[in-house]
Chain A
Amino acid sequence: MDISEAPAVNSRRRGNPVSRILSSIRDGNGFDILLVAAPLVFLVLLAGLPLIYNVLMSFQQVDMFTLGAWIRPFAGFDNYISVISQPEFPLVVRNTIIFVVGSMAGQFVLGFALALFFAQNFPGAATIRGLFLVSWVMPGLVVGAIWSWILAGDFGVLNAILRSLGLIEAAIFWKSDPNFSIWAVTIANIWLGLAFNMLLLSVGLAAIPKELYEAAALDGANAWKRFLTITLPMMRPTIGAVLSLGLIGTLQQFDLFPAITEGGPANSSTVAQYWAWQMSFTLYDFARGATISVMMFVLVLFASILYVRSTRSEVRG
């Protein structure tokens, strides 16, 4: 579709170049271009350039003395080799996989279950569902603080509840036991992201025409069959979008780590995004920090392509 013809006619009046540009801004395509160009320049400066700079730094030797320079000694793949040969590298990869897969699975399964539940017709459904969303607007660091206290080993309330239910016998030291520390952060992240998953899935559920269910019920399909043959296929684009946004969101999660475990004990809960930050801001090794981020970018790029493909098949309104 094209814009209406009226402004194009107006802006075709004669005049010197400056007034022509001004009138185009006031009353022509110049207005659109200006509106798009300003934020685009802003984004290129503050998101595009840093991205390129990151890639550049990952191939350079960077130290505190060359921090202010643009041109630095070329290092080839040295930074990449050095990152991969770090003793904690396999551990960080393992933790990142646990954190991403665990968070996404928890958020998605629980979010989907809640979305299906709140799609039932009962009084107050919309209001109560809205209450769940408060977790979404909470600052990550505060969520981390609260969960850090709930998960505390000796005096944490979760251990007390589990013990009184008879599920565990001795206290689990969620934060200081290397076997559990990454799960401590994962549990907090599931809580944090659950509501957003539920919201997106609810929107998808609401878009499925009710007639489909009525027709299936007439044909004698039970609830489980209706779920498998109507809900799941109709929800495919939404599920794709939710999962890829979940991957991007989980890889962005940072605030919970300094609040709950600080990556410890002994890196047993360090994930890639926290590791990259530690490299740069506690070890001042900006080159390796940049290298880890470039590795993550490739992963996120993959998720984004999946996201765009899944939204593409949707009807755009």
Chain B
Amino acid sequence: MTRPWTQWVLLAVALAMAAVYLFPLYWMYVTSLKTNSEIFANPPSFWPADPQFAIYPGVWARRSMSTFLWNSTIIAAGVTAVTVILGTGCAYVLARYRNAWVDVGLFCILMLQVLPASVMITPLFVGFNQVGLLGSPRLAVILASAAKAMPFFVVLVRATFMSVPRELEEAALVDGNSRVGAFFTIVLPLARNGILVCAILTFMSAFGEYIYSKSIIQDPRFQPASVGLSGFLGPNSSDWNAIMAYSAIYVTPILAVFVLLQRRIVSGLTSGALK
């Protein structure tokens, strides 16, 4: 039996650890608000003396972030759409049958995903070049990233479908539904939450995608925010308040969505999905 006061000690320790772990995020926001001279103060100040909120609209305009973020959104939406449309059906079938073929299929799907993106990009680039897809670079990036995101999505959504009781689908079939009808009216609505969580995760990771975009998209008008950030980031960077302001604008929407949906996402992932 744990006594009440040990619980409060544990809570305090947990909060302290979370504070240490999330310090980099805090540092991003604090640095973005500091003046140019305060950034290089020694020792560093942990609270901005004179917060410069004007840096946000400044960086937004100077770095043409509206274009970059719009491209990121298009790419992430495209990747999510392709992944959900193709991956959901695949996950459903792989959950419906249990035999050696399904194991082989799952293994192949996982294997196709294990190679690093920085390594897959070489043949993809050459291949896209040969079929002329480099002319529409955002589409090329969407296709490449969707192939990368699909296996993870299929494995997670398959677990969701496995938790849908089979009897419900069989009852619908006995009642005269076709397979297509039973899938869309019974199985899909029951698995909706799990699919939604996985779709959100796919969107978030595609929103931060870097390597494919960097290698394939040469025209700044079509580049996503990650490539835009890399444009003024390197071992010798010095305008840290601008970099941090850019990063803050970039990640705050993702972080907000994640914190709002945190319970759902975590329970969606942990309820058997990661077995």
Contact = CB atoms under 8 A, between A and B. Distances in A.
Interface string A251-290: 1111100111110110000000110110011000010011
A3 interface: yes
A131 B275 contact: no
A316 interface: yes
Given A301-B111, A304-B114, A35 B93 contact: yes
B14 A125 contact: yes
B28 A146 contact: yes
**Interface of A (DSSP majority class):** helix
A164 B179 CA distance: 68
B55 interface: no
Interface residues of B, number: 112
Contact of B117 (A7, A146, A206, A252): A252
Interface string B247-275: 10011001100110011011001101011
Contact of B118 (A40, A273, A316): A273
Interface string B56-74: 0000000000000000000
A180 interface: no
B116 A251 contact: yes
Contacts of B124: 46, 50
A139 B255 CA distance: 11
Nearest to A317: B272
B10 interface: yes
Contacts of B22: 131-132, 134
B229 to A, nearest CB: 6
Interface stretch (A51-59, A76-84, A87-95, A226-234): A51-59
Given A26-B179, A50-B127, A134 B270 contact: no
Given A139-B207, A317-B159, A39 B87 contact: yes
A157 B123 contact: no
A150 interface: yes
B144 to A, nearest CB: 6
B154 A39 contact: yes
B105 interface: yes
B14 A277 contact: no
A122 B12 CA distance: 10
A149 B113 CA distance: 32
Nearest to B204: A137
Interface of B: 2, 6-8, 10-11, 13-15, 17-18, 21-22, 24-25, 27-28, 31, 39-44, 82, 86-87, 89-90, 92-94, 96-98, 105, 107, 109-127, 129-130, 143-144, 146-148, 150-151, 154, 159, 162-163, 170, 173-174, 178-180, 183, 201, 204-205, 207-211, 214-215, 226, 229-230, 233-235, 237, 240, 243-244, 247, 250-251, 254-255, 258-259, 262-263, 265-266, 269-270, 272, 274-275
18 contacts: A7-B173, A27-B178, A42-B82, A42-B147, A43-B150, A123-B11, A130-B263, A141-B226, A142-B28, A142-B247, A145-B229, A145-B247, A146-B247, A199-B266, A260-B235, A286-B122, A304-B111, A304-B114
